[in-house]
Amino acid sequence: MPAFADNYIWMLHDGARAVVVDPGDAAPVLKALDRLHLELTAILVTHHHADHVGGVNALRPRLKGPVYGPAQERIPQPFMPLIEGDTIDVLGLHFAVIDVPGHTAGHIAYAQQGAVSQGLLFCGDTLFSAGCGRLFEGTAAQMHDSLSKLAALPGDMRVCCTHEYTLSNLRFAAAVEPGNTIRQAYQLRCEALRAQGQPTLPSSLDVELGINPFLRCDQAAVIAAAQQHGAEDTSPVAVLGALREWKNRF
């Protein structure tokens, strides 16, 4: 569900029980719980920023279960601290926790496990469609490592990002790789969706591998563009760092 100007709060439910991810605001969550007559059984948090945790305490009176969050960050207490290698079960779905530092120092992602097609990936502000999070607390090397972990997950995974930044990210991606025809087609699809007031998300990892410059730091065209914008060498970390700096000014 949309929140604030461009956040999304993801809600999963089975008709009776619900789980929400990164509730920056309680109001839209409470509205959805009431409208669909759902019991809130867990809250998943990816990182400590206010637009992801701001609604947690206001939801506690309605919560019949734990708040899960990154062990390395200050999340509204009490919560169940998670690190990479932990797994959680919500609504009968299994999620593995992955450490993805870069945007914040202790950022985690939740990747659905098991023999499912189109599993869910809740990646917070680490991976966006056609972009990645700003490096507020981490380094380009950390972000590259984190994005590489996500990129190695099954390609059909649904990428549930927490912001609708897709069109502005795609304008940047077009500057990096003007000749990428996969990105051109995807951009037209996303522009049509936004024109109808529809979200561009979830994306999929396969789509992102084809269009997201931050996942394509080993591609010749991306390397060349990054070198024109300050990359000191052709290593993926240098390329990602230069892209991120360029995007900050774009």
Stretch that binds Zn ion, among 13-21, 78-86, 121-129, 180-188 (CB under 5 A): 121-129
Cα-based torsion angle of the residue sequence 220, 226, 227, 232 in order, rounded to the nearest 10 degrees? -110
Stretch that binds Fe ion, among 43-51, 65-73, 190-198, 240-248 (CB under 5 A): 43-51
Polymer length of the chain: 250
**Residue (103 or 183) nearer to Fe ion, CB:** 103
Catalytic hit among 22, 25, 99, 125? 125
**Which of 51, 99, 164, 208 lies at the binding interface for Fe ion (CB under 5 A)?**
51
Q: How far is the CB of 107 from Zn ion (least distance, A)?
A: 8
| Long-range pairs of 177-185 with CB within 8 A, sequence gap ≥ 24 | 177/213, 177/216, 177/219, 177/221, 177/222, 177/225, 179/221, 180/210, 180/211, 180/221, 182/210, 182/211, 183/130, 183/210, 183/211
163 is catalytic: yes
Q: How far is the CB of 124 from Zn ion (least distance, A)?
A: 7
Catalytic hit among 13, 48, 107, 163? 163
Q: Which of 163, 180, 225, 182 is nearest to 244 (CA)?
A: 225
Which one of Fe ion, Zn ion, none is in contact with 244 (Cβ closer than 5 to 8 A by kind)?
Answer: none
- Could you tell me if 107 and 46 are in contact, meaning their C-beta atoms sit under 8 angstroms apart? yes
* Cα–Cα distances in angstroms (integers) from residue 136 to residues 53, 129, 160, 203, in the given order: 17, 19, 21, 24
Catalytic hit among 49, 99, 107, 144? 49
107 is catalytic: no
Phi, psi of 46 (to 5 degrees): -95, -35
**Which of 22, 73, 99, 125 lies at the binding interface for Zn ion (CB under 5 A)?**
125
- Could you tell me if 214 and 172 are in contact, meaning their C-beta atoms sit under 8 angstroms apart? no
Q: C-alpha angle 209/210/211, rounded to 5°?
A: 100
Amino acid identity of 58?
A
Q: How far is the CB of 235 from Fe ion (least distance, A)?
A: 28
229 is catalytic: no
> Can residue 125 be called a binding residue for Fe ion (CB under 5 A)?
yes
103 is catalytic: yes
**Which of 49, 107, 244, 247 lies at the binding interface for Zn ion (CB under 5 A)?**
49
What amino acid positions are annotated as catalytic residues?
A: 47, 49, 51-52, 103, 125, 163
Residues that bind Fe ion (CB under 5 A): 51, 125
Judged by the rule CB under 5 A, the positions of this chain that interact with Zn ion are 49, 125
